[in-house]
């Protein structure tokens, strides 16, 4: 399988780096990949994908009445 042109350009540029810079680049790449994997495992959905979820549950609810009822329950001791 042939590598995309962009990867070949990146690999060529990497050959110009000093050894310590290559190690730093490698370390940064590993951290970035691990972070992406952790983010994938933590959530199946992005916040934007959850927008509007369950909105049909609130269509018939009087918001002011709901909020006042909740607040009243806080004050009960």
Q: What is the mean pLDDT of residues 53-70?
A: 89
38 or 62: whose pLDDT is higher? 62
With beta carbons less than 8 A apart as the criterion, state whether 17 and 25 touch: yes
Place of tokens 């992406």: 36
- Whose CA is closest to 29, among 10, 42, 45? 10
Measure the CA dihedral 8/12/13/16, to 10°: 170
* Averaged confidence pLDDT in the chain: 85
pLDDT score recorded for residue 16: 96
- Residue 54, CA distances (Å) to 8, 50, 51, 59, 61 in order: 47, 9, 9, 10, 13
Instruction: Write down the pTM of the prediction.
Output: 0.46
């Amino acid at each position: 399988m042939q590598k995309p042109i962009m990867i070949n350009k990146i690999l060529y540029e990497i050959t110009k780096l000093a050894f310590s810079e290559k190690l730093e680049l490698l370390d940064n790449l590993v951290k970035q990949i691990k972070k992406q994997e952790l983010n994938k495992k933590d959530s199946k959905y992005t916040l934007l994908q959850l927008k509007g979820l369950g909105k049909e549950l609130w269509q018939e609810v009087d918001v002011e009445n709901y909020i006042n009822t909740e607040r009243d329950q806080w004050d009960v001791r």
